[in-house]
């Protein structure tokens, strides 16, 4: 991402508070105003608006557009595919549904079954298990007032 930002900064000297109109932003990004509006409709860009309602692109919006374009090329996906990927990351319910689909299609391995807990966890559980008394008063009879565990309330 750093090289995208450096390449973008080399094409246009943009001060942090400076904003570009859509035509100039499209020119800097080597794309079209229509593609910027499309990315906005997908939620991949959120440009500021001028008092007159015109889109204005600052450094962050230009970087987001350039990075989205790079990801689409690198992974050979469409802008709508990328927008859905962002939605999956942002919405837990969608992520859960997509994970379930991945498991059904065997592209994502199922979670390990509970019975396959590692050996050390099983051993710890066995060691912490206390034997049950056979008769109701038997455990109390075995413990006397001098038993150090009698008043242990940890």
The CATH number of whichever domain residue 54 belongs to comes to 1.10.1660.10
Q: Integer distance in angstroms from the first to the last C-alpha of the chain?
A: 52
Phi, psi at residue 56, to the nearest 5°?
-135, 130
Residue 82 belongs to a domain: no
Are 8 and 63 a contacting pair, CB within 8 Å?
Answer: yes
- Given 46, 77, 108, the domain boundary residue is 77
| Count of structural domains, the chain | 2
> Does the pLDDT at position 7 exceed 50?
yes
pTM exceeding 0.75: no
For residue 138, being part of any structural domain is answered with no
pLDDT at 130 over 60: no
Domain check: are 70 and 122 in the same one?
Answer: no
H helices of the chain, where?
A: 2-11, 22-29, 33-42, 59-75, 79-90, 92-104, 119-128, 138-142
Q: Is residue 148 part of a domain?
A: no
Question: What is the predicted pLDDT for the residue at 150?
Answer: 45
Residue that is last in its domain, among 77, 112, 139: 77
- Please check whether residue 84 lies inside any domain of the structure: no
**Residue 143 domain flag:** no
Average pLDDT over residues 75-104: 96
Query: Do the domain assignments include residue 66?
Result: yes
How many residues are present in the chain? 154
Q: Please indicate, yes or no, whether residues 71 and 14 belong to a single structural domain of this protein.
A: yes
From residue 26, alpha-carbon distances to 35, 55, 82, 89 in Å are: 8, 11, 19, 27
Same domain, 12 and 62: yes
DSSP assigned state of 43: T
pLDDT of residue 1: 66
Q: What is the residue range of 22's domain? A: 2-77
Say how far apart CA 31 and CA 48 lie, in whole Å: 19
Model confidence at 152: pLDDT above 50? no
154, pLDDT greater than 50: no
Is 136 inside any structural domain? no
Contacts of 70 (CB under 8 A, 6+ apart): 4
**pLDDT tops 70 at residue 30:** yes
Least confident of 33-37, 71-75, 92-96, 146-150: 146-150
Structure tokens of 119? 């050996």
Q: Are residues 102 and 49 in the same domain?
A: no
Angle of helix 59-75 versus helix 79-90 axis, rounded to 10: 110
- Residue 96 shares a structural domain with residue 67: no
């Amino acid at each position: 991402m750093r090289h995208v930002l450096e390449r973008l900064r080399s094409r246009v000297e943009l001060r942090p508070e400076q904003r570009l109109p859509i035509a100039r932003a499209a020119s800097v990004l080597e794309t079209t105003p229509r593609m910027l509006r499309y990315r906005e409709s997908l939620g991949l860009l959120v440009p500021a608006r001028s008092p007159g309602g015109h889109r204005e692109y600052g450094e962050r919006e230009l970087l987001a557009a350039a990075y989205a374009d790079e990801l689409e090329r690198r992974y050979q996906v469409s802008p709508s595919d990328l927008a859905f990927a962002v939605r999956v990351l942002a919405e837990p319910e969608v992520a859960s549904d997509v994970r379930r689909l991945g498991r059904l299609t065997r592209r994502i391995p199922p979670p390990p079954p509970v019975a396959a807990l590692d050996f050390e966890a099983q051993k710890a559980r066995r060691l912490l298990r206390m034997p049950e008394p056979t008769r109701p008063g038997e455990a109390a009879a075995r413990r006397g007032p001098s038993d150090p565990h009698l008043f242990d309330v940890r």
